[in-house]
Amino acid sequence: MRILDTHLHLIYPEKFTYPWLGNAPKINKPWPVEAYFAEALPLGIESALHMEVDVVETDAVAESEFVLTLPRIAGAIAACRPEHMNFVDQIERLSEHAHIKGVRRILHEAPDELSQSDLFIENLRHLPDYDLSFDLCLRADQLWLGANLAQRAPDVTFILDHCGNPDINGLGLDPWRGALKEIARNPNVMAKVSGIVNHCDPGWTAETLRPYVEHVIETFGWDRVVWGSDHPVATVTGGTLTDWVNAAREIVRNASPDEQAKLFHRNAERIYKV
């Protein structure tokens, strides 16, 4: 089963500035495309969408423009700032590149009120005009923010990153499970099966992740889920890209070939218009 990775981070410190990497010593180094695909290709990952890596704002457009020149990068999700008055100017420039498929504003470290302002929401409503989606990066306790955005911008396609970031090592399945059902009531929200190994202790297995992945698929359905590696962030807790791919395949092993194809590449091709 071939895979389209919808959440690859490439890191080029010689080209761009990543302020947050100073607090992430395990991955604070170059992570180039060649090293990723050396491991990814044998796993069946044939191409990837690059997810913005929270560079300084002045590097945001250049980052996406650069990664689109790299081999096997099928598209990019660019950084954006919907809280700014010049947001439409930002997305007009981004839309000049056919392979920029969506945008993201990291919200899990921002004040809750940032994404709920009238300006932020009105700016998001322009995204369909430019054929762009919006990736939601929220903590489990913030999922109500995403539900509000989806309701107030119903024509925007939202993709919820990292299964909504369940607190696997802490609270566990609840109250995340109920909050996920609430955001899934909005038909314009999709879910990305990615990033949950970041919330596990080292030594996690497919069985550690199974109840979370299965709940996401059950809640959103096979037509509204995509798969992402979150590489290299997903290596912080000791696992590898190979570990995560193998675990994901094991969790859905009993699903039909059609259902597996939807998760691993077909939905992503439709949702991100690859």
Rounded (10°) CA dihedral 42, 47, 53, 59? 130
Query: Which residues are CB-contacts of 105 (< 8 A; sequence separation ≥ 6)?
Result: 79, 80, 81, 82, 83, 115, 134, 137
Confidence at residue 71, expressed as pLDDT on a 0 to 100 scale: 98
Low-confidence ranges of the chain (pLDDT < 50): none
Q: Which residues contact 30 (CB under 8 A, 6 or more apart)?
A: 11, 12, 13, 14
- Domain residue limits, the chain: 3-271
Q: 3-271 belongs to which homologous superfamily? A: Metal-dependent hydrolases (3.20.20.140)
Sign of CA dihedral 240, 245, 249, 252: positive
Q: Residue 58, by phi and psi: left (phi above 0), alpha (psi -120 to 50) or beta?
A: alpha
Count Cα atoms within 13 angstroms, Cβ side, for 93. Answer: 12
| C-alpha to C-alpha distance for 177 and 82, rounded to whole angstroms | 28
Ranges assigned E (strand) in the chain: 3-8, 45-51, 73-79, 100-106, 133-137, 158-160, 189-193, 225-227
| Residue 174, Ramachandran bin (φ over 0: left; ψ between -120 and 50: alpha; else beta) | beta
pLDDT at 146: 98
pLDDT of residue 238: 86
For residues 153 and 82, give the distance between their C-alpha atoms in angstroms, rounded to a whole number: 13
pLDDT cut 90: percent of the chain above it: 98
Q: pLDDT tens across 246-272, in order?
A: 999 999 999 999 999 999 999 999 999
**What does the pLDDT read at residue 26?**
94
Three-class secondary structure of residue 182 per DSSP:
helix
Angle at 56 between CA 4 and CA 104, to 5 degrees: 40
131 SS3 class: coil
The conformational region for residue 11 under phi > 0 = left, psi -120 to 50 = alpha, else beta, is beta
User: Taken in order 216, 218, 220, 225, is the CA torsion positive or negative?
Assistant: positive
Residue 173: DSSP 8-state: T
Q: Are 41 and 229 in contact (CB under 8 A)?
A: no
Taking the C-alpha atoms of residue 113 and residue 90, their distance in angstroms, rounded to an integer, is: 22
